[in-house]
Amino acid sequence: MERITKLISGLALGALVIANLAAGDTAETVLIRSATIHTVTGGTLLDSSILIRDGKIAEIGPEVNGPDDAEVIDASGKVITPGLIDSHSHLGLGPSGGTTEDNEGSDPSTPQLRIIDSIHPTGMAPHENSFRDSVAEGVTTIIARPGSGNVIGGQSAALKLSGGTVDEMVIKFPADMKMAMGKKGYGAKGQLPVTRMGVAYVVRKAMVDAMEYRDSLERYERKKESDPDVVPPKRDLKNEAMLKVLNREIPVHIHCSRIDDILTAVRLADEFNFFRLSLGHGTEAWKVADLLARKGVVVVVGPAMIVYDEDNNLVNLAKVLDDAGVEINIMTDADVVQQEFLRYQAATAVRYGLDPEKALAAITINPARLVGAEDRIGSLEPGKDADLVIFDGDPFDIQSSVSRVFIDGKTVYEKEQGDK
């Protein structure tokens, strides 16, 4: 993949041709020929083809041919990547800085809340076209998360940007448990937390409460063997949700920027043996990159991609972390940065030295792996969902545009002829 040499300066979208396609509106078998294909997990294939059948990738390689009834797309001179995945988004939840649907705000600990109950499936004013515009820039999946107003915000979901309802979009729920360090604004409401110590306590208390709830369930199961009339414990939705974390059924994603909050997040993960820890933002994560690499912590970089050290030297967060062996994702935090700018976030990291293949992985396979959906999305391999993007050039070049986007083998965007 050719490195770009220009700083990101803007985005001009062509006319959009988005359609909610019913089964049968697109050929069930599609052959895309003669493209440069970035598979992500299997290297880059030159002058190669992809055969799509029944919504899945059937074959991929230089010698692939399709049946006579296949729709044939000539992609000579074009570049194909997997559909892009944003691993930290609030798309469909309302504008940042206003009244949004991603923060409950009434309790610092709300693990029982589910982000899928808040998402508007086409976007909300002033970004009511954000789903359409995102697909037109190659974004096919997002990990939608509760906001960071609460210490424990609730359960995230992985959604494909195709379908008439949120339930049709969901491919993974719960994707993880969203938490946030450094959020201590509840003092004005006369409740914890007021300090960072209080924030950590809220997490610890939720985990201990879940332990006690699990113990009560186990005692009930044991006693039921000898006493069928024993009364079960009262159902508790908050503790049920935290049991998913305690039992290592789902990962944990923690909003944190400062180094003290990052270290607290790692401390809590060690203390309660979190299944997988990822940090959202991680602005000062570069200062402890070696520690995070040893601990296997994933950092989801953004929306700030570039920071400065104490001597005012530029720090490319994604590159420094990647160089240290930390697995990185790149995000928009939409709508802090608009959802359609995901590849431009990655391009900024490339512009300042991150290897383009690492940048592509950070918006494809790494987010898929983060939530355990790598068996379906994130790379171009036989058997995986046919979510892919055809670009007319280097995806990280601002002059390149999206020609066509597929989700589950169906065209969800196609650039009109004559558009620049």
Separation CA 362–CA 345 (nearest Å): 10
Residues 209, 279: one domain?
Answer: yes
The lowest-confidence range among 13-27, 287-301, 329-343 is 13-27
Residue 4's pLDDT is 34
Residue 191 and residue 231 in one domain: yes
Which pLDDT value is given to residue 186? 81
Task: Check whether residue 58 and residue 136 sit in a common domain.
Answer: no
Contact (CB, 8 A) for 273 and 365: no
**Are 115 and 88 part of one and the same domain?**
yes
Is residue 390 predicted with pLDDT exceeding 60? Answer: yes
Residue 23 sits in the same domain as residue 54:
yes
Our count of domains for the chain comes to 2
Token pair 């809220």 in the structure block, residue: 202
User: Looking at the predicted structure, is the pLDDT value of residue 335 above 60?
Assistant: yes
306 neighbors 352 (Cβ within 8 angstroms) = yes
Same-domain check for residues 351 and 227: yes
Q: Helix 196-224 vs helix 259-272: angle between axes, to the nearest 10 degrees?
A: 10
Please report the pLDDT score of residue 104 as a whole number: 85
CA-based torsion, 154, 160, 161, 167: positive or negative:
negative
CA distance 385 to 382: 9
* Residue 233: other Cβ atoms inside 10 A: 13
In this structure, are 354 and 408 located in the same domain?
no
pLDDT at residue 13, as a whole number = 33
Which pairing describes strands 277-281 and 252-256: parallel, antiparallel, or unpaired?
parallel
What local confidence, expressed as pLDDT, does residue 17 receive? 36
Q: Calculate Rg over the CA atoms of the chain.
A: 22
How, if at all, do strands 314-316 and 306-308 pair?
antiparallel
* pLDDT at 98 (0 to 100): 47
- Whether 235 shows a pLDDT value over 80: the answer reads yes
Within this chain, do residues 131 and 179 fall inside the same structural domain, yes or no?
Answer: yes
Position 102 scores a pLDDT of: 76
CATH number at residue 221: 3.20.20.140
Question: Would you state the pLDDT for residue 54?
Answer: 94
Backbone φ and ψ of 85, nearest 5°: -125, 125
The Cα 312–Cα 113 span in angstroms is 41
**pLDDT at residue 27 in the model:** 57
Choose the most confident range, by mean pLDDT, from 5-19, 271-285, 405-419: 271-285
Q: Structural domain of residue 256, as residue ranges?
A: 84-377
Q: Are residues 369 and 382 in the same domain?
A: no
Cα gap 366→156, rounded to integer Å: 17
pLDDT at 19: 39
